[in-house]
Each structure stands twice: as structure tokens, then as C-alpha cells.
Structure 1
Amino acid sequence: MAQDDSVDTSDEHADLDKLNKNIERIESLSKRLTAALARKKPIPAALQGPSQDLYLKAANAYLSEMINNPAKIVDHQIGYWGKTLKHYVEAQQRLVKGDLTPPPDDSPKDRRFSNPLWDSNPYFNFLKQQYLTTAEAIETTVDELDMEEHERKRMEYFTRQIVDMLAPTNFLATNPEALERAVETEGESLVRGLENLVRDLEDHDGEMIVNLADKSAFEVGKNIGTSKGSVVFRNRMFELIQYAPSTETVHATPLLIFPPWINKFYILDLKEQNSLIKWVVDQGYTVFVVSWVNPDESYADVGLDTYIEEGYFTAIEQVKAITDQKKINVVGYCIAGTTLSIALGLLKKRGDKSVNSATFFTTLTDFSDQGEVGVFLDDDFIDGIEEEVNRSGIMKSLYMSRTFSYLRSNDLIYKPAIRSYMLGEAPPAFDLLYWNSDSTNLPGRMAVQYLRGLCQRDELATTGFEICGETVHLSEVTVPMCAIGCETDHIAAWDASYNGVRKMGSKDKTFILSESGHVAGIVNPPSKKKYGHYTNDDITLPPQEWKAKATFNEGSWWPRWEAWLKARSGAQIPARVEGDSGHEILAPAPGTYVKSS
């Protein structure tokens, strides 16, 4: 019988077909990539980084140290060289002996290097240890520069940005997880990564912004921002939403919430399980929320005075009229809390007693300590912003969202980019990250007022802030108040928030410190049983002493705040229904303004 020498080539044909299809996809994606990049608009140089003066001062400080204290510089460099060379020699000696295990690794734990190959593979372990050693040497050098404290902090921050950007995890050739995935998928992960990159560029007009969440997974009003209610008032600044009751009776005094206008209000109503709005409604309150307009160029001349007169004061009067109450309780979150404090000072000057009590969520009113965001509040950046808003009329959402992202660049830029572009993974269906990307513009005049008068000059807590024809001081906030700070807040540092509370004129003050950060510390429902909180009645103490003597309480701060609010919300009355006061219902919640991009 003749032997069959034919070879089955079906697998080879399949591989070839797959390769050809991937080549076609890459060619198509390359054309889309070019088209997307062509849509990119130039960003002013002043908004791309700090002025050269900062780097010149750092260089001069280093040169001065070399001249005045050469022994210190030499000692530092020899220490770095010695550590680097020792690690290199140890690795070489092991390879010569045929030992493929890395030398001892006492480098600090770092989530970026969680893949086992960073510890077990000699090549990747060598890269990791050399990078961490170099990063430590650079950071130590900057930390020891003889510079003014604020400038040194800025230098530390921007140096850290460069060091983080150059991490071996951020490059395909030095990322073991990305290389493994590429081999496992025969390059398919890299093609999917290119698709993700092109999609992100197309979504953001050529800007390199990683989509943090799957945008197709959410629709405001359908699966997020779904609490039942109605828009009962609208003007050019906001829509006023009244939420439907879920109890037969409610407290007589209504609650009006002012969210920040740098993001959409539904952070307080992401889904039923973690909605602060729904939870407060379920406790028996008539809840109103302001949904701010997303301004375009026509809002260029809108300032904080407009937000107060046409926003805060109008909303307060509407809630009073709808509920037939002379006084209401109010909440301000972040920048809306800062502006609420100004509004309360104005009401005090005008003899208006419409506000019964005020609550501040992660609010800065004393800017003497600007926290981490302070690196962006010097004239080099603010001058650039002022020039840009004078040209365009608005501070585009791009600048604000990018600034906050770089405060947590490893978590909000590099890690998502690695996952999306090098591993080829689709962004997760995560509601919080979806909201985080749904940012808004700021009116030009308002942005400059806030940055100059409040952030830079700290006028509200010092000389007084000029607004609506008056000069308002923080001491003129005299209503009963409760403030919630968040322990790891990188936007509104809790101790700065606490210091602002101490300067307010209220005799009835409560401060609660939640665990976690700017958002997770606030969106912390009792059902999660995740983050606890600190309490201490002595608001006269300095921040760290207050915390050291505080009582730690397990679980969410929500019930503690609600007990505080309940004591200031009056007797129970039959529940109010939207429109039962005769006000026209304009649209179902969450309204129309929240959906504008």
C-alpha cells in the first residue's frame, strides 16, 4: 500500500487568513487614527506644564548645593551608583552560573509590579529594581533641594509625574503581562488595543484621553440617575428636581442639595443601592436637587454672582414656595459648598433667614492650605487659563478633568491605558468611572473669579470676598452647620476643610471625618458597611489633634448626619407630591440639563 505523504495545511491556512484580516484591520485603523489626530486642537503651552522658571530654580538650587556642599552630592551619587552597580553585578554572576533566579529583591511593594514575572523573571526583575532605585534617587535629590517650600512641593509633584510616566509597565517591550497576552492571542490583543486607542481619540477629538468606563453600558435616567421625581422649575442656570416621596409622612422642613457644577449631579444617585438621594427620601424628607446647566460659550460672562443670585437664591425661593415653608435645610458639595458658604454670608448681610441649617460635603472655604491641587494654582497655570477663557469664553471640561486625573495618574491614566491599549481589554461597565468622565465646562468669568479670589488669594477666609456688591467673610456663616470631610481626599484635603469650619461664625458646628476619598467617602451607603468615620465635638482643636482625640465609628456617616438633620427638620406632615403645590411639572427626573454634553 502506498504511503500518504500529504500534509494537512488547514491550520496554516487559518493562521494566514487571521493574519491577513488583522493586517486589513490595522490598515483601516491607521487611516482612522490619522483622521482622529487631525481633529486635535492645539492646547496653550501654559496649560501643558509649569513654567520654565520652576525648573530653572530647581537647577540653580542643585548647582548651588554642588558648589556649597559637594560632599553631600557626591555621597548621594555614590550611594545610587553603588546600589545600581551591586544589583547589576549580582544579576550577572547568577547568569554566569546558569542561575536564572533574580538576586535578592528588597524593593518596596508596588501595585504596578503585581505580575509574578516582575519577581521571578531575571530580566523583568532587573528592570523593576533598576527603575525603583533610580526613582528613589531622583525623588531624594528633589526632596533635598534648598527651595521655598511651595516651589519644592511643585517640583516634587511634576518630577513624580515624569518618573511615573517612564515606568517600565507603561511600555510594551518591558511589560510582561502585555507581552504574555500578545503571545497568547497571537497579536489579537494588540489589534484590539489599537482599536481602543482609535476609539478614544475619536471620542475626544484627537486628545489622548482613556475612556475609563464603557459608555454604551449606561444611560442617565435608565440605569443611573433613576430616582423618581420631576423637574418643577427651570431657568438658564439650573433645573430644580423634586423627588417623589417613598414614605406616607415627611419632615416639614425640606432639603435642597446643591451639587458641584464641574460634574453632573447624579453622583448622588448612581444606582438604587448607593443613591444618597434615594436614601434621604426613604428617611422621610422632601428632597430637591439642583441640576446645573453645562455652559457653552454664551455663558462667558457668568460669574459666581450669577450662580448665587440666579442659582442659589432662586432655588431657595422656589423650594420655599413649593413647600410653603419659611425656612429650608441646604447641602453643598465641593465647589457648591464653597459657594454655599458665600451665599450664606450674603443672606446674613441681607437679614434673610431662609436657611435653617447647612451641610457641607468635602468643601474648601479656607485655602491657606491648597493641598495636592495647589501645584496647579500658581500664576503660570492660572495666567494660561485666564488667557484661554478670554479667548474661548469657557474653561473646557478637558482641562479640569485632566488636572484631577493627573493627581492620581497611575490609577486614572496609566493603569487604564495599559489595560485598554496594551492588553486590549474593553473598559469596564463601572458607573462611578462613567460619571467621572461625564464632566462639564465652566463659564470663563466664574472660573477666573474662583481661581484668583478664592484659591490664590484666600479672600473668603481672610480679607473678605467681594460678591454681589458686598464683601463676605467666612465668619458670617452663622447658621447651624455640619461638615463632612474625607480622610484621603486629594481635591479638598480634610484638614483644610476642617480649618474652614473653625473660621465659620456658627455656634452650632459638627464635623465628621469619613474614611476614603473625595467621592467614595461621600457615596458610602450604610448597606456597604465599608468605610467608617471619626467624630469629636471639640472643634477648637487643630486638625491633627482633633483626629487623634476623635472616636472612630464603624460604618457610614449617613445615619449620624441624618440624626443631626432630623433634629432640625420639624414635625411630620403628609408627604408632598411633585406638582401638588400648583407648580408645573416640566419633565421627569433626571431632567434635560444633565444629559447635555
Structure 2
Amino acid sequence: MADEKKPTQGNEEAGTFKLPDPAELGRSMADIAERSQRIVGEWLKRQAEEGLASPDPLNISRAFMEMTARLMANPAKLVQAQIGFWQDYMSLWQNTARRMMGMDTAPVISADPKDRRFKDDAWKDNEVFDFIKQSYLLSARFVQDVVTQVDGLDAPTAQKVDFYARQFIDAMSPSNFLLTNPEVLRKTAETGGENLIKGLNNLLADLERGRGNLRIKMTDMEAFRLGENIAVTPGKVVYQNDLMQLIQYTPTTEKVLKRPLLIVPPWINKYYILDLRPRNSFVRWAVSQGHTVFIVSWVNPDANLAEKGFDDYMREGVLDALSAIEAATGETAVNAIGYCLGGTLLGSTLAWMAADGDDRIRSATFFVTLMDFRESGELNVFIDEEQLKMLEEKMSKRGYLEGSDMATTFNMLRANDLIWSFVVNNYLMGNDPFPFDLLYWNSDSTRMPARMHSFYLRNMYQENRLAQPGGISLAGTPIDLRRVKAPAYFLSTREDHIAPWKSTYRGTHLLGGPCRFVLAASGHIAGVVNPPDGGKYSHWINTDLPEEPEDWFHGATEIAGSWWPDWQRWITGLDKRQVKARAPGDGKLQPVEDAPGSYVKVLLS
């Protein structure tokens, strides 16, 4: 019977073990077997159609072979590290034995208090799980010490070795396995293994969504509807072309600033990161502060747009938006914001406009934007020549890069938070993911046109040509960031793993106009989407701009709360003039459809 219970020997935490219903278990396993067979068959068929993948698509083996050769050339360091590791391990054995005899002992190594993998009390209170945890932490430290102290490796190889060593360390955490995770064992005892059956079904569902590739479900995808409970700020699409829709938002004040505000988001993800919920919507807040807000909503491209290049995103994105704003409001002077890749496009466009004598953008704000890519963080791990060639070959067959491929890359940068925590929650605990607007947006990825993406990765990340005067030409014109004279506001975030703040800071020394640099706490998204009413993350300001970012930080003052009011004071300080509020449709452009528009609703195949 499903409700029968019997005591579990030696399981004080679980107390009782619930027996599964044999008939239900049999039906579940039969269904799992049938689905598994179908998934594997479909995956093999697709692999055959697309050609065999490289056995080493991330080009890892060469880096680790070089590291091994360096280690063998100087084995003394390795031997010394091994001796230290075994000494610590013996101390752990002795301490564990003392604990089992009832004696108090200090841990040989402690987990970071912020490490949520070991938050369960059993990792500390139970001698066995404490031993497992400390064994893992000692092993992780040993591996990390070995790979980071190898002499003679060039910087890219050392970075790759370090990155993938950490991926291995994270994957081998005892929290990721049934028999070494106390929470999972407790849940298994309480449910009679139903959590594992549910977790296996969750795993199969994710494989089905990814057509054989694992696409982890991070949130309840049915809990959110664009235009209903996210991306709900009222507005209209007033212009569209092949690459974008332009949304104009409905004013909420009687007077608005004379200069309209154009926001250029990245096209790696969708624009509504700046309009998630009313309480954390930068768009809604900017409208309430008296801005006539326009935002670009990029299309989710397919093979028909394979030949769209970076200069097409400039012409059909920023430049067409400026012309549409003039038609809608009669204004030729605008303030502009660029977010991440959208900021790189904005900076490039400003340099192109400077060469053409076009000064319609009177101020520029750059959210977490790279212009100097020489130290662009761990994304460089994925952009060596071998991987780029393989990526370009893959894109040439489809005409685009799948959004899921980009999402996987970004998730690997924070594997514990964005991969392994969901493996434990969804597959081992058998839980459904919690509804979370930010993770819904994070899962709503977009494709990259082949020509544009290849240009971006090679010219920006690999060769850092944007920082070189005349290093890049757009629409046949060489561009130079030093010719950009418009006032610029740089907002970066201290824990950014995508656009490291010390690299974004260097943009202040590339532009030719006055710059202000502000550093927010937290990361690439949370540090930006930080409303004043939230009472969260602080920010740092320093009006001086020394050459080195560390010098800037040492002279900076920390201010509690959001950076949004600081930006508003800066932008209104440039031009305070106001006019009567302008609603969508008041000018020469007639609304096409209600915000959020149709382009943002195009999903991945």
C-alpha cells in the first residue's frame, strides 16, 4: 500500500521511509523508458543531419596538455601541494574521529558563508556529512592551487585552465549527488523515492524541450505573460523594420523633458529586462521622472536575416530610431542609453555619427558596456581561434547562432547558481522551479545573425579593434571613439561576470567628451535593475577619472541605495527644459500595435 510506513534503520533524520506504490512506479518507469528512447533517437537523427560534432568543441584538451607539461617540467611545486593536501586530510580524519567520540573540534576548512550548497544544518551537525563537505573543500582547494600556480602558461591558456578546473570542481560538489546530499536523502525517505521519479520526469522534459540537449527549466514558464504581468508599462509600437520595433511609452506627467530618451538594449536578450514588473521597471520609473521614453525591441532573427551585420544594427536600429523619434516628437536632439552590447553599438554609432557631423545624440549613458575588450573577463575562454572557426561553421549551416547556445555560455559563468542549483532542485529534490521574473527573462533567449555575431566576436573580443582609432569601419566609414564629444555617463557593477567593471571603466578614457563613472553593487542585471524604493544595493561615485580603475575606487564614496536618482540629476543637469507631454500618435507616426509589440514575443524554435 502507498500509505504504509516502516521504520528506517539508522535514519534518524528521515524517521520513516514511505514505500512507493509498485503499480504507479511501474507505469512511471515505462513512460520514462519510452520517452528516453524517443529523445535519444531524435537527438541521433539531428546529429547525423548536422554532421558529427568535434570531440573537443571547447578546445580544452590543448590547454590542459600544456598545463600538464609545465607541471611535469617542475614537479617540486606539485609535490609540495600534494604534501600540504595530505597533511590537511590527515587532520580532517583525526578531527572527525574526535567528533565521533564526542569531542569538540575546529573545522580544517570552512565553506564560504554565502555558499548556499551547504546551507543545510546537517553539513555542520552530522559528522559524516561534515567530513564529506570538508573533504570536498580540501580537494577543491588543492586542484585550484595546482592549476593557478603553473609557471610559463600564456594568459589565455591559464585563464582557460582555471575556468574549466572550476567547472569540474563545481560539478563534483557532494551536494550534486543523491547519496551525499542530506537534503535529498531526507526528501527521498519522506516521499519513498517519489522525488527521484519526479526529478527524472523533469530531466526528460528538459531534454525534450532542448530536442536532446539539456535545457534546464529555471522558472515556471507558464507563470508569466508578456503584456499581462511583465512588460506592462503602457505604450505603443510607433515604428518597425526588419530588425526592430520602436516602442513609445505613454506619459504619466503633464510636462516632460524636451529631449526624448532612446534606450538601446542588447539583442542577446530581450528588452523587457528594463520593464519586468512595475516595482522594478526602469522604463516606468523614467516615464514617471518626465522622460519621453522610446525603447528598441529587437527581432528574434531567423535564417532570413543571416547577412545582417553590425552596421545594419546601427542603421536599422539606432539611426532609424532617431529618425522615427524626430517624426514622433519633432525633436532632433535626444538622450540615449545603451545596455551591454547595446551600449557597444551606441558607442560605435556615436563615433560613426561624429565622422558624419551628426550630433543628434546629445548625451550617452552606458550600462555595463565594454568598449575596450583587452580584459573582457571569462567570456574570452570561448573565443579562441579554434572555437570561433567551429562557431562560424555551425552558424553558416543555420544562418544564426541558437539562443540556447548563448544562454549555456552565460550560465557556465555562474555554474553553481545557474546550473547546479537547478540540477539539485529539479532533478534530485523533484521540485518545480519557483516563478521568478528575472529567470523567465534569462530563459527567453534570442538568436544571433551569423554575419553580425562573427564580426562582433572577432573585431571586439578577439582583436579589440573598437578601442583602436580607425580599427573598425561601419558602413564604409572608419570610426574613432575619441571623436565622440557628447557627455557620457558610465554605470558599471562591481560583481559583473560578463562586463568586468575595471574593463568598462576604460571606456571613460576612450571617449573625447566629459564622462561620469558610477559603480553599483551586485552584478550585470541586479546592479542595474535596482529601483530607489527597493532599499538594496549601494553605489560608489568619484568625479575624478584617474587612469587606473583601482585608483578611481580608492577615491570613491559609497552611497546607500540605488544609482537611478544620481543618473536623473546628471541627465537633467544637461538640459532641464520641459514641454507638454507627448503621447504615442501625437506626431507623424501612427501606432502600429500596443506595447510590448509582437517582435518580443517571437520565441526560440
State the TM-score, normalizing by the size of structure 2: 0.92
Q: Tell me how far apart the structure 2 counterparts of residues 47 and 582 of structure 1 sit (CA, whole Å).
A: 55
1:550 corresponds to which letter in structure 2? A
Is there any run of 5+ residues in structure 2 with no aligned partner, and where?
7-17
Q: Deviations over 1:236-277 (max 9, x none)?
A: 010010000001111111001001000010000001000000
Q: Does 2:137 align with 1:128? A: no
Shift of 1:356: 1.1
Report the secondary structure of 2:574's partner residue. coil
* Structure 2 residue aligned with 1:6: none
Q: Does 2:166 align with 1:160? A: yes
Q: Does 2:325 align with 1:326? A: no
Greater alpha carbon shift after TM alignment, 283-292 vs 102-111: 102-111
Report the secondary structure of 2:74's partner residue. helix
Shift of 1:24: 1.1
* Structure 1 residue aligned with 2:375: 369
Identity over the aligned pairs, expressed in percent? 38
Q: Tell me how far apart the structure 1 counterparts of residues 565 and 358 of structure 2 sit (CA, whole Å).
A: 30
Name which of 54, 58, 61 aligns with 1:49.
Answer: 58
Name which of 78, 84, 107 aligns with 1:79.
Answer: 84
Kindly report which structure 2 residues correspond to 1:191-340, keeping only aligned pairs within 5 A, or say none: 191-340=197-346
Q: Does 2:108 align with 1:109? A: no
Q: Deviations over 1:204-241 (max 9, x none)?
A: 21211211110010011110000000001111010010
Q: Deviations over 1:10-30 (max 9, x none)?
A: 955998783321331232133
1:28 corresponds to which letter in structure 2? D
* Structure 2 residue aligned with 1:187: 193
Q: Tell me how far apart the structure 2 counterparts of residues 425 and 397 of structure 1 sit (CA, whole Å).
A: 26
1:468 corresponds to which letter in structure 2? A
1:131 corresponds to which letter in structure 2? Y
* Structure 2 residue aligned with 1:138: 143
The 1:135–1:11 alpha-carbon spacing in structure 2 relative to 1, beyond 3 Å, is closer
State the TM-score, normalizing by the size of structure 1: 0.94
* Structure 1 residue aligned with 2:15: none
Name which of 490, 505, 509 aligns with 1:483.
Answer: 490
Shift of 1:471: 1.2
2:111 corresponds to which letter in structure 1? K
Q: Tell me how far apart the structure 2 counterparts of residues 186 and 13 of structure 1 sit (CA, whole Å).
A: 9
The 1:103–1:342 alpha-carbon spacing in structure 2 relative to 1, beyond 3 Å, is same
The 1:512–1:90 alpha-carbon spacing in structure 2 relative to 1, beyond 3 Å, is closer
Shift of 1:569: 4.1
2:512 corresponds to which letter in structure 1? G
Q: Does 2:27 align with 1:24? A: yes
* Structure 1 residue aligned with 2:12: none
**Do the aligned partners of 2:339 and 2:369 also contact (CA within 8 Å) in 1?**
yes
Q: Tell me how far apart the structure 2 counterparts of residues 13 and 366 of structure 1 sit (CA, whole Å).
A: 64
**Do the aligned partners of 1:46 and 1:380 also contact (CA within 8 Å) in 2?**
no
Report the secondary structure of 2:295's partner residue. strand
The 1:141–1:10 alpha-carbon spacing in structure 2 relative to 1, beyond 3 Å, is closer
Q: Tell me how far apart the structure 2 counterparts of residues 412 and 357 of structure 1 sit (CA, whole Å).
A: 36
Name which of 9, 32, 36 aligns with 1:33.
Answer: 36
The 1:330–1:117 alpha-carbon spacing in structure 2 relative to 1, beyond 3 Å, is same
The 1:13–1:184 alpha-carbon spacing in structure 2 relative to 1, beyond 3 Å, is closer
Shift of 1:45: 2.8
Number of paired residues? 581
Alignment root-mean-square deviation, CA: 2.0
Q: Tell me how far apart the structure 1 counterparts of residues 3 and 314 of structure 2 sit (CA, whole Å).
A: 70
* Structure 2 residue aligned with 1:590: 596
Is there any run of 5+ residues in structure 1 with no aligned partner, and where?
1-8
Q: Tell me how far apart the structure 2 counterparts of residues 90 and 269 of structure 1 sit (CA, whole Å).
A: 53
* Structure 2 residue aligned with 1:60: 69
1:50 corresponds to which letter in structure 2? N
Q: Tell me how far apart the structure 2 counterparts of residues 331 and 44 of structure 1 sit (CA, whole Å).
A: 40
Kindly report which structure 2 residues correspond to 1:424-435, keeping only aligned pairs within 5 A, or say none: 424-435=430-441
**Do the aligned partners of 1:47 and 1:385 also contact (CA within 8 Å) in 2?**
no
The 1:249–1:47 alpha-carbon spacing in structure 2 relative to 1, beyond 3 Å, is farther
Q: Deviations over 1:317-369 (max 9, x none)?
A: 11112110121111100001001111001101111111111111000000111
Kindly report which structure 2 residues correspond to 1:445-460, keeping only aligned pairs within 5 A, or say none: 445-460=451-466
**Do the aligned partners of 1:100 and 1:121 also contact (CA within 8 Å) in 2?**
no
Greater alpha carbon shift after TM alignment, 535-544 vs 432-441: 535-544
Name which of 349, 371, 386 aligns with 1:380.
Answer: 386
Greater alpha carbon shift after TM alignment, 52-61 vs 37-46: 37-46
* Structure 2 residue aligned with 1:492: 499
Shift of 1:91: 3.6
Q: Tell me how far apart the structure 1 counterparts of residues 182 and 422 of structure 2 sit (CA, whole Å).
A: 16
